[in-house]
Each structure stands twice: as C-alpha cells, then as structure tokens.
Chains A and B, each alone.
Chain A
Amino acid sequence: MIVELGHFALILAFAIALAQSIIPMVGAYKGWRDWMVVANPMATVQFLLVAFSYAALTYAFLVSDFSVKLVVDNSHTLKPLIYKISGVWGNHEGSLLLWVLTLALFGACAAWFGGNLPATLQARVLAVQSAITAAFMAFTIFTSNPFTRLAFPPFDGTDLNPLLQDPGLAFHPPFLYLGYVGLSMAFSFAIAALIEGRVDAAWGRWVRPWTLAAWVFLTIGIATGSWWAYYELGWGGFWFWDPVENASLMPWLFAAALLHSAIVVEKRETLKSWTILLAILGFGFSLMGTFIVRSGLLTSVHAFAMDPERGVFILMILAAFMGGALTLFAFRAPILEAKGVFSTVSRESALVVNNVLLAVSSFVIFIGTMWPLFAEMLFDRVLSVGPPFFNMAFTPFMVALAMVLPIGAMMPWKRGNLSRAMQPLWGLAAFSVAMGAVTWALQTGNSPMVPIGLALGLWVVLGSAADLWMRTGRGQVAYRLKRLARLPRADWGKATAHTGLGITVFAVSALMGWESEDIRVVQIGESYDKGGYTLTLTSVDRVEGPNYVSTMATIEAHRNGQLVTLLQPEKRFYPVAGMPTTEAAIDYKILRDLYITLGDPQDNGGWAIRTYIKPFANWLWFGCFLMALGGVFSLSDRRFRVAAGASRKSATAVPAE
C-alpha cells in the first residue's frame, strides 16, 4: 500500500511540476502577481510529495518487500541496514528518483530562501527549475518506474552489486547528484535572466551561492568516488579517465569556471553573456554525464544500467533543454551589455585566463571521451582513447593553471601592474623552483614529474598564503595578524580552496611518480622486505561475513624489529550475486600508505601478494577536502547571508575580493 502511495505521490508531483513550469512563467510575462507567487507553495508541495515518494521506496527496501521488482533486483534480507538504505540509489530507477528528489529540493530552496529576489525573476527561475524536474519525473514514471510490482514475489532478492556494498560508494552518488543538480539552479537562473533580458551585479550575487554549493558537492562526490576506487578496485588507482569519471569532471571544471566568472559579473558587471553561456553549458555537461551513465553508450565500470531506450529519452531531454537554452542565448545575449571597463592587466583578465584554461580543458576531455563514438559512427574505426591520451592532453592545462593562479589571485580589479603584483611573489616562486630542484637532485629516479608537481604545488600554496597576508594591508605584524582573523570569509575561502588545489597537484604527482610496488608469492610464515618494512604472512583464514565469505590474510608489518601494524587484506565472495571482490588492507600514514592486496593461492601452497608504497596518498583526499572547505567558507560569507540584494546595497559593503 505504501509503495502505491509513493507511486501516486510521484505522479501527483509530476502534475504539479507541469503546472509550476507554466503558471508562474505566464504570470511573470503578464505581470499577474498571484500567478507568480503561487510558484512558492507549489515548489514546497512538489518537494514534499517527491520526498514522500522517496521515503516510500526506502521503506520497501528496509522491510525487504520482495513484491517490488526493484527490491528483488537490488536487495537481500541478509544485506546490512546501511546498504538497504544506500541500495535505494544503487540502481538506475532509484538513483533517478534521488535525482528528481534533489531537483525538487533545490527548487524548494529557491522558493524558501529566494525572498529577496525580484518577483518576476523568482517566478521564472522556479518555472524553469520545475520544467527540468517535470522532464526527469516523466522519464522516471514512463521508462523507469521504481514502484513496479511483481505478480509472484520470490522468497528473497538477488542482492546489490557487491562492489557497491561499501561505505565510500554509499555516499558517493548522493553528493554527485547534489552537485549535478545544483548546476540546474545556475541554469534556471541563466534562462530566467535571458528571458528577463537583465543580468546585473545582483544576478551574479544570487547565482554564485548555488554554483558554489554545486561545486562543493561535486568536489566531495568526485573525491569520495576516487577514494573508493583507490581502496576497493584493488590496485590503488585513484583516477582512470573512465567515461563516467570524465562525465563528473567536466561539470566540475565548468562549475569552477562559472563560480569565478560570476565574481566578475558580481563585482564588475562584465563577462555577462559568457557567464550565462557557462551556466548553460555547465548543466548541459551534467545532463551529458547522466546520458553517458544511463545509456551505457560508452562501456565503463559504472554501466549498471544499460538500456538504449532510456538513453534516447535522456538524449531528448538534453536536446530539448540545450537546444532551447542555446537558441534563447543566441537571441538574447547581444542585449546583455558589459559595463565595467578594465585594462589588459587586471583581475578581470586573470579570471578570463582561468576561464579559458578550465573551459578548454573540459572540452578536451569531452572530445577525448566522445571520440571513440564519433570515430565508430562516422569513420567506421573502432578505437579507444585511454589514460595515456588524457594525461598528455589534460595535464598541460592544469600546469598552466597552477602557474598563473597566484599571480592572478594577487592582481587588483580594473587596472593592475604586473611587476607590483609579482613583487611579493618573486621570492616564493624562486623558493618553489629551488625546492623542486632539490627534490630532483635527491630522488632516485629521473622522472621530472614529482619535482615539477612539488614546485607547482608549493607555489600555489605559498601564493595563497601571501595573498591572504597582503589583504591585511600595511602596518605592524601584530596589527595585521588581528586583521587576518577579521578578513571576510570569502577571502579565507579563496585561500583555503587554492591551497587545496596546490596540495592536490603535489599529491597527484607524488602518487603517480613515486609509487613503488612489489609482487610475489609468499608462503605462510615467510617474511619479505618492502619500503623499510619487514612483512610477515602469518595466516590465511576463512571468515564468514553477513552476506559474504572471505579469505583473509594476516600480515604483520615490522619496522626496526617493532610491530607497526597488522594488515588483513581480503578476497570476498558474495554467493547471492555470485561475485568476488578484493578488499585491500591499507595502513594510512601521513607520508605514505602501505597498501596490500591478496591474490590467488599458488600451486606450491603460497599466496600471491601485492604490496604497494603509496606516497602522500592521504594528501590527495585532504587537498580535495580543503577545496570543498574553501567553498563552504565562501558560502558562509556575510554578503550571501545578509539579505543584500538589488533592493538595498549595504553601506558597510564587504571589501572587494
């Protein structure tokens, strides 16, 4: 009964979404106030209905209602509780419902917190947002109904894909979805502004928190996904240039570009049409990501839902929204006049450079991801585009970005002076290069990767710190320290996020350049040395898990005769799904991870064991965390909290970033 109610609530929400995408739009056009404001309660009710629908599906999973097809296909009575909850989105239908839920949530947020928006703009934003929600609801209801019942329910389910039964992956999709869907908000604002024909500083200020939030969620989503791959897939890779990973990286890069160019709109009222275009494309790439995942067009790790029919439906949504948006853009963009004038050496120009690098690198990933498809369809060539290509084509852009970042961040608005901006930076640049050179001299191999990564990372981190310090103005150190604490949170956010990027750059280079591995057959009781540790395989046991059987090795790691840690890599077998998984044993330390996976038993009674030393692996996740944290700091800046908008400019304006 509850399941049917959930289904019914979704259909009801769909009807409301359709109405909400038309009525406020007409109201805003005609200037009918009551037709506009009705969007607010509609958005709330729509969200509550979808939330109920989602709760109903979760309930079916929790009580293991095996008359629901989705539960049978993706659950099992023995499955741990957390995976019963995460199992709701661990499949195509459920993840779509989550997608719809986040869309409705963001729409409702625009209704709840958008009180300071002009009435027509808010009405139009809510209408566009609701149109997107309606499209995805139609997709869910007509092609991927999660509430389908079975006439003859089986006794038990077929279990969730064991790879997905993992805490890291349980929370990876919701964050990613919050990010993808957050970009829909920027899209809705862009379309509403195009219809209004007005983009000003206030618009920039409204659209930025949504973009920032979306970017923060995407950062967390991508980082958790990468971390999951690192410990779960068994060889400690963190990025595979898989089509689905690329599908999340492209919107991330666009969101990063957008949140920087929105600053220019907010502070200087220029780059307007470009910012609008970025907002449209950013969400376009989110839809593209969904299309890539859902259609299974490009085979990949994530293709748990492959169905051409559904792919076509998403392609239609993509074509309709992008086609419509870009047509509207072509007609209306020329009327968006730029106001601010700035010289070629200025913060504005620096942010244009940032946008060029981020947008072009994203397009390069797009071309690389889609190339096998183009080549096969148009030229009848079946080929692959893999990591060697992406590393080669993408890295230069990131290197360039890291090189110009500290200079651009230091540049004043409007008119800058390169030598003055560089004045506090020369020393830092020299120091970073010197440290890179020292690393080059000290390391054993002769790959330039880590020295370059270290120099760049250091340069970005020190540059961010210098930027923050310069913001405190002149005066005595004690006075400046005091001011440091009182700087706007946006300044802290900027410095934190940039520091995170610097750390990530270094960690990626260290992990790729300095990793070392060891593959061998080990007998029980035998010891071997790796990276300064003496590792002893003491036993290999059979362990029963809740819904799996595990072969667990126990390895003692000694250093200088002292027991450092006990590592227990596992090979698990999930009988219901008939799938094996590898559980690596990882000893996390600040400077390195000791990473061990267990392989197959050998004919001579030994076990194949892979041991890796992964230098600075934790720094990678820490860097991503800092980036997200920086976004949160910025989001909490008072100019977003204070209801400062077009209506009233606060007299104590926050100093420009």
Chain B
Amino acid sequence: MNRLRVYLVGLVLSLCSPALALGPDEILDDPALENRARSISAELRCLVCRNESIDESNADLARDMRLLVRERLVEGDSDSEVMAFIVERYGEFVLLRPTTDGVNIVLWIAAPALFLIAVLSAGLYLRQRANATEQTKDQLSPDEEKRLRELLKE
C-alpha cells in the first residue's frame, strides 16, 4: 500500500510541469462568469498534484476540471451546483475547503473551541495570580525569624 503510494506520487509529480496554469484559451468571454469560475477553481484541488488548486495547477487533469467548471457555468448552473457536480464526480478529496458535515465539524469548531478553553483557563490563572499573596525571598520563614531573634539576643 505504502509502496504503491510512493510510486503514485512519483508518477504524479512528473505530470505536473510548471508552465502556465490557466491558459488564455480557457478564459470565458463573460467576465462575471469567468470571475465565478476563478473563485470556484481556487477552492478545488488538483487531484494529481501536490498541494495545488486547479487554478494554479498545470496538470492536464486540472485543465479538464477547469473546462468542466466553465462548461457547467455556461450552462447556467449555480456555484453550489457546480461544486456538487464536481464532488460527485471526483469525491470529497477535491474540496480544499472541507465540508462541515459529520466529523468535520470537529475541525471547524476546533479554532473557536480551543480559543475559548485557552481564554477561560488563562482568565482563571490571571485571577488566581491577582488574588495570591506575594512570596518573596525577603520574607523570612518562622524558623529563620526564630533564629534571628536568638542571634539578636546574644
């Protein structure tokens, strides 16, 4: 399994040659539609690439996906319909912005939840520090004070 993955990745890396991502021939004439296509493309992952969106990728598959996105848009699909279409075809893996369903909710609430926990514990700590009494080296322990008194008596 692992070995297979290594080969696959090697193969994949050789497919992605750095040249031009989005080609001039792909751009739609309608600027509004093209803008929508760009923002959708930035949210979709190139399947055969490293960590790249199809908007940035140079792989042939990414080009196919870009063309597919534009094709759907021209046919009048809404953004979410295009996304749904692509996900159905290529799987959840293509989404660079993970969905919020199922366990993914953990991922999404992680940031606010962690922040809340951190703020609460920091708040508790700060209150405790504010109420604590200062213990410094200058204060003598009862034993030391006793000894000091004895020494002074002599």
Write the residues of chain A forming the contact surface with B, with a CB cutoff of 8 angstroms. 233-235, 237, 240-243, 270, 296, 299-301, 303, 306-308, 337-344, 348-349, 352-353, 355-356, 359-360, 363-364, 367-368, 371, 375, 378-379, 381-389, 392-393, 396-397, 519-521, 571, 579-582, 597, 599-600, 602, 608, 610
Contacts and interface: CB of A to CB of B under 8 A. Distances in A.
A300 B43 CA distance: 17
Interface in B1-55: 2, 6, 9, 17-25, 27, 42-43, 45, 50-53
A520 B20 CA distance: 11
Interface string B117-150: 0110010011101101111100000000000000
Nearest to B125: A352
A384 B95 contact: yes
B9 A243 contact: no
A296 B127 contact: no
Contacts of B130: 341-344
Contacts of B102: 379, 381
B73 interface: no
Given A296-B6, A393-B111, A301 B50 contact: yes
A260 B138 CA distance: 27
B30 to A, nearest CB: 16
Contacts of A348: 129
B122 to A, nearest CB: 5
25 contacts: A296-B9, A300-B50, A306-B9, A341-B129, A352-B126, A356-B118, A356-B122, A363-B110, A363-B114, A364-B111, A367-B110, A368-B107, A371-B98, A375-B103, A378-B103, A381-B102, A383-B104, A385-B107, A387-B42, A387-B53, A388-B97, A389-B96, A396-B111, A519-B27, A521-B24
B79 interface: no
Given A519-B27, A608-B24, A386 B53 contact: yes
Given A242-B51, A364-B114, 15 more contacts: A303-B9, A338-B129, A339-B136, A341-B133, A341-B134, A352-B122, A356-B119, A364-B111, A375-B104, A383-B93, A387-B53, A389-B96, A571-B19, A579-B17, A599-B23
Nearest to A302: B50
Contacts of A368: 107
A600 B17 CA distance: 11
B118 A359 contact: yes
B27 A243 contact: no
Interface in B72-112: 91-99, 102-104, 107, 110-111
B18 A342 contact: no
Contacts of B94: 384
Pick the 6 closest A-B CB pairs, nearest first.
Answer: A386-B96, A599-B20, A388-B97, A341-B134, A393-B111, A582-B18
B60 interface: no
Contacts of B134: 339-341
A519 B129 CA distance: 60
* Interface range on chain B (Cβ under 8 Å from partner): 35 or more
Nearest to B57: A235
Contact of B98 (A243, A384, A581): A384
Contact of A580 (B6, B17, B43, B129): B17
A534 B147 CA distance: 90
A344 B127 contact: yes
Nearest to A415: B130
A233 to B, nearest CB: 6
B51 A581 contact: no
Nearest to A519: B24
A519 B99 CA distance: 32
Given A299-B50, A519-B27, A381 B92 contact: yes
Nearest to B56: A235
A643 B128 CA distance: 35
Contacts of A240: 51-52
Nearest to A243: B51
B50 A610 contact: no
B51 A580 contact: no
B34 to A, nearest CB: 10
Most B CB contacts (10 A, CB to CB) among A241, A360, A382 go to A360
Given A360-B115, A367-B110, A383-B104, A389 B97 contact: yes
Given A235-B56, A242-B51, A360-B114, A581 B18 contact: yes
A287 B143 CA distance: 48
A307 B52 CA distance: 22
B123 to A, nearest CB: 9
A389 B126 contact: no
Contact of A599 (B19, B45, B56, B135): B19
B103 A388 contact: no
A379 B110 contact: no
A112 B22 CA distance: 55
Contacts of A581: 18
A384 B125 contact: no
A20 B127 CA distance: 44
A339 B129 CA distance: 9
B92 A383 contact: yes
A372 B98 CA distance: 10
A235 B24 CA distance: 15
A582 B21 CA distance: 12
A306 B52 CA distance: 19
Contacts of B125: 352
Contacts of B56: 235, 237
A304 to B, nearest CB: 9
B115 A580 contact: no
B111 A308 contact: no
Contacts of B126: 344, 349, 352
B24 to A, nearest CB: 5
Contacts of A299: 9, 50-51
Contacts of B111: 360, 364, 393, 396-397
Nearest to A307: B6
B51 A342 contact: no
Nearest to A161: B13
Nearest to A349: B126
Nearest to B58: A234
Contacts of B133: 341
Nearest to A233: B18
A383 to B, nearest CB: 5
Nearest to B93: A382
Most A CB contacts (10 A, CB to CB) among B94, B96, B134 go to B96
A371 B104 CA distance: 9
Contacts of A300: 50-51
Nearest to B17: A580
Nearest to B23: A608
B51 to A, nearest CB: 5
B107 A597 contact: no
A340 B27 CA distance: 64
A255 to B, nearest CB: 18
Contacts of A235: 21, 56
Contacts of A396: 111
A384 B18 contact: no
A237 B118 CA distance: 33
Contact of A301 (B25, B42, B51, B91): B51
A240 B50 CA distance: 11
